[in-house]
Amino acid sequence: MLQQGIGEGGKQAIAGFWRRYRLKDLLDKFGPTLILILILLILSTFNPFFGKFNNLMLITLEAATIGIVAAGQTLVILTGGIDLAVGSLVGLTGVIAAGVMKWGVGPIPPQNSYLALLIGLLVGALAGLFHGFMITKFNMPPFIITLATLSAFKGLALVYSSASPIHLLPDDFKWLSDAHLWRIPMPAVMMVVVYFLCWCFLSYTTLGRHVYAIGGSESTARLTGVDVKKCKLYIYSICGFLSALAGMILISRLDGGIYTNGEGYELNSIAAVVIGGTSLMGGHGGIWGTIVGVLIMTTINNAMVMYSVPAEWKNVVIGVIIIIAVLIDILRKRSQ
């Protein structure tokens, strides 16, 4: 009787609802968020200090710079590419901006801190543009060209800074790291703004839709009229710009440019992207998942410090997390 009363259209609607909201799909969409909440609850239970507001704000502060880098990495990976030079670019742009503030450029005297920051951001964007040019013009694999510049950028930062920190910088731009908005650290606020803009870009712009199309199938995207070269140039430039932005925040927070700034960010950013549900093959995922992945990694790191776990185990834990995340990604692909 009930089935007769529902009718054929009602049956199809109910079946569609269960297909859409079955447990597997919910876990695929909200799994990383549930894992983050579970980690926070467990750690707060065993250590009441962990859940305190100040410690949570410390986690967001620590997550901000790697989170901004990971946002750019997400855009690149969605196209089916990868950028291994993000960490070195964080260090290079940081020492360049610090050097312009402290020493100037050649015969040009030390410059205003905000001009120095703009120069650092411009260098980051141009470095990303170079990556995009080499990939699109000469068909160089993203892995190879960014692996090469990983070494080159780190070497340039080392040479430029003479392997010494460039410290005692002007105070007028320190608000980048020291200011708060309603008790929330400014770097965390900037991270959220970056993710919101990236989400708007991917969701509401033609270029953002092209990013998914290229990651799904570059040849198909090209046949449907997508300007693949132009899109990749934009995406790698944005990634370089965001790496430089993280570099500017770091020199503000550390009061100096150091060539080792950003070390390890390439692996951490990739891990955060994969943990957040974005496929390394491209075309599947989203920006908000990445911020959850960043918070998961930062929360685990915070807990390791709180429980006095030796620092050398940090890399082991990150490696295990990457293996698990990639395995989940492979199993997800097979199920689809």
Number of Cβ within a 10 Å radius of residue 92: 32
- Alpha carbon 227 to its chain's center: 25
User: Quick one: pLDDT at residue 258?
Assistant: 93
Q: Is residue 219 situated within a structural domain? A: yes
Query: Can you list the alpha helix ranges (DSSP code H) found in 138-264?
Result: 142-161, 175-178, 186-204, 206-216, 218-223, 228-254
Query: Is the residue at 94 inside a domain?
Result: yes
Place 9 in a pLDDT band, splitting at 50, 70 and 90: low
Whether 196 is covered by a domain: the verdict is yes
144 lies in a domain? Answer: yes
- Band of pLDDT at residue 336, cut at 50, 70 and 90: low
pLDDT at 142 (0 to 100): 97
| pLDDT of residue 21 exceeding 90 | no
pLDDT in tens, 81-138: 999 999 999 999 999 999 999 988 777 788 899 999 999 999 999 999 999 999 999 9
Residue 102 sits in which domain range?
Answer: 71-263
Of 148-152, 283-287, 307-311, the range with the lowest mean pLDDT is 307-311
Q: Quick check: is 116 in a domain?
A: yes
What is the reported pLDDT for 324?
Answer: 79
Rounded to whole angstroms, the Cα distance separating 220 from 11 reads 36
Would the pLDDT of 330 be above 70?
yes
Q: By mean pLDDT, which of 18-32, 150-164, 189-203, 319-333 is the weakest? A: 18-32
Q: What is the DSSP letter of 224?
A: T
Residue 1: pLDDT band with limits 50, 70, 90: very low
Candidates 245, 234, 239, 237; CA nearest to 211 is 234
Report if residue 4 sits inside a domain. Answer: no
Q: How many domains does the chain have?
A: 1
Query: Tens of pLDDT along 67-86?
Result: 999 999 999 999 999 999 99
pLDDT at position 2: 42
* Bridge partners (DSSP) listed for residue 167: 256
| % of the chain with per-residue pLDDT over 70 | 90
Q: Which tens digit of pLDDT belongs to each residue from 174-233?
A: 999 999 999 999 999 999 999 999 999 999 999 999 999 999 999 999 999 999 999 999
- The dihedrals phi and psi of 225, each to the nearest 5 degrees, come to 100, 5
Angle (CA) 181-113-175 rounded to 5° is: 15
- Does the structure show a pLDDT above 80 at 332? no
pLDDT tens for 247-275 read 999 999 999 999 999 998 998 999 899 88
Helices 287-306 and 265-275, packing angle to 10 deg: 120
User: Is this model's pTM higher than 0.85 or not?
Assistant: yes
Alpha-helical runs (H) found in 79-111: 86-102
Q: Is residue 231 part of a domain?
A: yes
Please report the pLDDT score of residue 79 as a whole number. 97
- As a whole number of Å, the CA-based R_g of the chain is 22
Mean of the per-residue pLDDT values for the chain? 89
Question: Is residue 80 a contact partner of residue 211, using CB atoms and an 8 Å limit?
Answer: no
For residues 23-50, average pLDDT: 81
pLDDT value of residue 24:
61
Task: Indicate if the pLDDT at residue 322 is higher than 90.
Answer: no
- Single-letter residue type at 205: T
How far is residue 38 from each of residues 21, 41, 142, 156, 296, measured CA to CA in Å? 21, 5, 36, 43, 10
